[in-house]
């Protein structure tokens, strides 16, 4: 990807072929880290967070606003008073001990399967944006076509390991039926891993049925093929919608991200370590519940994490405490031997300006050092998640490729050979024509396509184009070169039949009131 | 700094007073790190770099294009053939062993003195820009007035620890006399630490004389009061200008930054670890020479470090190999127990767009994790150093404040108190009105002034202003509120007398040909 120059847009099949030839769209394997992690807490401090979280679970308790969950917890031996579940630390430890530390995350193309957990990481696009900034940099509500475009980009960008699900919300389709089309779009336009909607228990069941069509119900019983996200209501509440969706996934042995939704200072204490203690208690309570539903089911320690501005109450991004908390959360997840997710390339900027760049790069670098396994919201996120930017999507994807390269660490395989070049060249020479340089330059130093490093004279001669416009041109090029990964025709028809049947069953109007 | 909203520009003394009241301009103390460093090499790998560098010094040698230095090296017992000096590893180790691991870097206001080295860090603005992007975002050659404005900003921005020297090149003054006005501007407009020009041995002598006027010649003999930078010509060459300037500083016991100027792939091998081995050899040769000039004189392991695009030969910024090499260089400097400098907030963008944000934040985060002591080029750098942006200068300074906060690590002092708040609030509550929140929010979470986190509606109502324009308005406000730190009148006159005398002595035309 990184050795080609940005070509002017061309049209037609010839152009598509040219772009496909010029660029390598092969997905990078799951990242395997070669850099040491940044671990700000020592063992005593980790245990201090653990003890505080366990105290919260035992003494303050967690509200499960869901009768089934309350009954499940009673059955598991927890003390339940009203909707509050008091979790003994022994029970919590026993339950989370059965969460697999690693698993293989399956894609419909087995070449895109991902080893998951421990020192592996994958990059997943942002999801859930109610607006997009489109190819003309216009901010508007997205459509199914926009969503398909993001799925196509996810398929093509090498450092992106998943097509996720509703990267943008397709407003041109009834909300009650939207999850079906979203899931189909993820499956159809990419053969990488994807995510499943958890917007209601019934929607989650539909996702499971569609996964069963794509992968086989039996295969799913022993192979994770999809991930769903379940947000908590911090402080210390899990609601019926999320718990029902969680059960739908877990019963099929599919992992959910157990994600406290933390706005530091608003729904947690105004302090770093105590916020992590509360978040950790919340995550543990849901992780433990997954094992009540199905022992041994994979699960992922999640969180959405921001701090709020005390000026406006708005969530911030790229601030130092967010970075510190992410480093700490990584340590807690590893302490419990559970894989974990992050919110990776966040930004609060309203446009793709320098603010967005600073915010996203800061968060990405911190999370790369934190050792997160599931690097979610890694591309496109801006305006505190209110819009997904097509320009930022491709730039973030290249940033992920660079973070990937950095996290791999240092290569030593050509060390002696290159030192021989130092002797060849000697003082005052230059290396550009040396055989070692010619052999190695393509892999030696990452050359970002979307950064312009030319002189100002050349940049002006090329139209004085800033990165936002360059990235939009690049995105147009990519979409022009897209080729759909073949989906078995019988599977495709079965999926479409399922969607058609469910769309007949689900009233389109209803859902606006109840189903999201 | 971080709790105030951006006010619309006002004018006059009332406005200045209002801004001064609203913002805290007190310099942050030198950063003392509380986060673990990122150290990608194990001991064996560190020793492999060390051995390779020592082999280079012994067998390939380093060219010192300077008769005095060659004579000095002969006197020190090195083998010299022509201009090539072959340095035995025993001699190198013996020489660098006398470089102080720490010292106090003195400012004319003792309140701004900085402990330097080991786990301390300071942030220093960019220097040497032949262009600026000014308050109207126009790219043009700078003047002495522009330089004064950057010195004023450096004085006011809390995370900036130095007014440096020629942040921008003042083109409205003859090049041969420019160093005098630059030095005076650094000294006059700020009472923080500053840098001294090394553009020629004679210029460096002038800086020493002016420092002697400001601090006293005797004081300088035992107290570092200024730093100079000496660039190497990679591979493996030091020239007469730099070596002469180095001697001028060292003879007065003032530290220089011994900085190989590395464009990875062009003047080093196209590979990460061998590039560090060569750079390390170059730095060691100059560090060792400082101790030949004056045993025990402080010195700083330096480097300018980029990788070049194999498309254009242009230097890149924010790429993963630059980050990895910085992490490695930090380990080597600590291995030799010598403080070290970095190039911190680099960018190759032509404007202050998202590219600049990504590049700078990536480099800054890597260097924060690398544990650099002298975080140079930390504010304003863009276009590969060709211009200093007034907008980026203040945004970078706030980024430095955030990196500072992150590097301090985690506070635990209110942990139990905040956990009591979790119990008070309980499941489903919110913390905004809690006493702990009200007491702690100002220090708990950094609130960047230059990031906009408002809703898009509010942002639009305020004029839909991107960060570049917001930062320029902010900069205008700051400059309007500037108050000069008092310089003793006798000292001021002595400095002006010295400059007047030297400007009579130095022909203004001459220098265009020889003195830069």
Q: Look at residue B23 in the predicted model and tell me its pLDDT.
A: 81
Percentage of residues of chain A with pLDDT beyond 70: 94
User: Which one of B36, B44, B270 would you mutate to disrupt binding with A, by most A Cβ within 10 Å of its Cβ?
Assistant: B270
Position A311 scores a pLDDT of 80
CA–CA gap between residue A87 and residue A60 (Å, rounded): 9
Rounded distance between C-alpha atoms, residue B293 and residue B242, angstroms? 14
Q: Do B414 and A271 touch (CB under 8 A)?
A: yes
Determine the distance in angstroms separating the CA of A167 from the nearest CA of chain B, rounded to an integer: 20
Taking alpha carbons only, the member of B444, B379, B367 closest to residue B405 is B444
- Residue B18: what pLDDT? 67
**In CATH, what number does A28-410+448-516 get?**
3.20.20.480
In this prediction, the residues of chain B whose per-residue pLDDT falls under 50 are 1-10, 510-516
Among the partner residues B316, B414, B440, nearest to A453 by beta-carbon distance? B316
pLDDT tens digits, A49-95: 999 999 999 999 999 999 999 999 999 999 999 999 999 999 999 99
The helix or strand, by DSSP H or E, that contains position A397, with its residue range, turns out to be helix A390-408
Task: Assess contact for A442 and A3: CB atoms under 8 A.
Answer: yes
Q: Which residues of B touch A394 (CB under 8 A)?
A: none
- Choice between A475 and A513, residue whose per-residue pLDDT is larger: A475
pLDDT averaged over every residue in chain A: 94
Residue A38: list chain B partners with CB under 8 A. Answer: 35-36, 38, 369
Q: What is the pLDDT of residue B508?
A: 83
ipTM given for this complex:
0.95
pLDDT of residue A481: 96
Question: Both tokens of residue A170?
Answer: 């397709």
Whole-number pLDDT of residue A507: 87
CA atoms within 13 A on the CB side of A494: 14
> Prior bond to B472 cis, omega within 30?
no
Q: How far away is chain A from the Cα of B405, in angstroms, using its nearest Cα? A: 6
Could you give the CA distance from residue B125 to residue B397 in angstroms, rounded to a whole number?
Answer: 8
DSSP H or E segment with residue B104:
strand B102-105
Task: Give the number of other CB atoms < 10 A from CB of residue A247.
Answer: 24
Per-residue confidence at A136, pLDDT binned at 50, 70, 90?
very high
Say what angle helices B178-189 and B144-156 make with each other, to 10 degrees.
30
Which pairs count as long-range contacts for A134-137, CB under 8 Å and 24+ apart, including other chains?
Answer: A134/A390, A135/A390, A135/A472, A135/A475, A135/A476, A136/A472, A137/A352, A137/A391, A137/A468, A137/A469, A137/A472
Whether the per-residue pLDDT at A11 is higher than 60: the answer is no
Residue B22 has what pLDDT? 73
Which of A40, A356, A448 minimises the CB distance to B354? A356
Counting one residue from A and one from B, how many pairs have CB atoms under 8 Å apart? 422
Cβ contact, residue pair A437, B412, below 8 Å: no
**Cβ contacts of A455 on chain B, cutoff 8 Å:** 314
pLDDT at A2: 36
| Higher local confidence (pLDDT), A411 or B511 | A411
- Tokens representing A392? 């930022």
For an interface test with B, the pick among A411, A453, A464 (most B C-beta atoms closer than 10 Å) comes out as A453
Q: Is A38 in Cβ contact with B39 (below 8 Å)?
A: no
The pair of three-digit structure tokens given for residue A267, joined into one six-digit string: 């729904």
Residues B330 and B256: their CA atoms lie apart, in Å, by: 17
pLDDT of the residue at A482: 97
Residues in CB range of A431: below 8 A, 6 or more apart: A421, A425, A437, B235, B265, B266, B267, B268, B269, B270
pLDDT of residue A514: 38
User: Which of B315, B421, B458 faces A269 most closely, judged by CB atoms?
Assistant: B421
Residue A5 has pLDDT above 50, yes or no: no
Q: What is the DSSP letter of B42?
A: -
Distance CA A300, CA A121 (A): 13
Please answer yes or no on whether A453 and B418 come within 8 Å at the CB atom.
no
């Amino acid at each position: 990807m990184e050795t080609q120059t940005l070509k002017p847009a061309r049209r037609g099949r010839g152009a598509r072929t040219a772009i496909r030839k010029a660029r390598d769209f092969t997905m990078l394997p799951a990242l395997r880290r070669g850099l040491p992690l940044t671990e700000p807490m020592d063992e005593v401090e980790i245990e201090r967070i653990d003890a505080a979280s366990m105290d919260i679970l035992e003494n303050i308790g967690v509200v499960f606003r869901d009768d089934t969950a309350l009954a499940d917890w009673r059955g598991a031996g927890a003390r339940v008073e009203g909707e509050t579940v008091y979790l003994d630390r022994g029970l919590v430890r026993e339950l989370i001990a059965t969460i697999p530390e690693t698993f293989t995350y399956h894609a419909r193309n087995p070449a895109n399967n991902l080893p998951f957990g421990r020192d592996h990481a994958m990059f997943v696009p942002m999801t859930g944006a109610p607006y997009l900034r489109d190819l003309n940099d216009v901010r508007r509500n997205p459509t199914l076509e926009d969503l398909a475009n993001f799925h196509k980009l996810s398929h093509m960008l090498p450092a992106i390991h998943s097509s996720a699900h509703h990267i943008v919300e397709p407003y041109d389709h009834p909300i009650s039926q939207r999850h079906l089309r979203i899931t189909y779009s993820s499956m159809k336009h990419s053969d990488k891993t994807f995510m499943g909607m958890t917007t209601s228990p019934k929607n989650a069941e539909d996702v499971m049925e569609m996964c069963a069509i794509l992968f086989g119900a039996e295969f799913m019983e022993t192979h994770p093929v999809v991930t769903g996200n379940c947000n908590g209501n911090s402080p210390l509440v899990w609601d019926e919608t999320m718990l029902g969706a969680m059960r739908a996934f877990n019963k099929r042995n599919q992992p959910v991200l157990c994600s406290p939704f933390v706005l530091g200072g608003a729904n947690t204490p105004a302090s770093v370590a105590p916020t992590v203690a509360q978040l950790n208690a919340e995550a543990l309570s849901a992780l433990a519940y997954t094992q009540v539903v199905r022992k041994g089911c994979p699960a992922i320690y999640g969180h959405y994490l921001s701090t709020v501005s005390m000026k406006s109450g708005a969530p911030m991004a790229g601030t130092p405490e967010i970075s510190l908390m992410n480093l700490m959360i990584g340590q807690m997840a590893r302490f419990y031997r559970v894989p974990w997710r992050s919110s990776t390339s966040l930004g609060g900027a309203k446009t793709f300006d320098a603010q967005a760049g600073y915010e996203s790069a800061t968060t990405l670098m911190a999370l790369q050092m934190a050792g997160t396994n599931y690097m979610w919201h890694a591309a496109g996120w801006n305006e505190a998640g209110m819009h997904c930017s097509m320009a930022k999507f491709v730039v973030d994807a290249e940033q992920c490729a660079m973070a990937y390269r950095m996290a791999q660490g240092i290569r030593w395989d050509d060390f002696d050979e290159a030192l021989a070049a130092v002797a060849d060249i000697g003082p005052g020479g230059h290396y550009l024509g040396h055989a070692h340089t010619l052999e190695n330059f393509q892999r030696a130093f990452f050359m970002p396509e979307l950064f312009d490093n030319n002189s100002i004279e050349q940049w002006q001669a090329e139209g004085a184009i800033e990165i936002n416009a360059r990235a939009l041109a690049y995105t147009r090029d990519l979409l022009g070169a897209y080729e759909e990964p073949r989906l078995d025709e019988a599977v495709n028809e079965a999926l479409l039949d399922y969607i058609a049947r469910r769309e007949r069953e689900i009233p389109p109007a209803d859902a606006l009131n109840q189903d999201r």
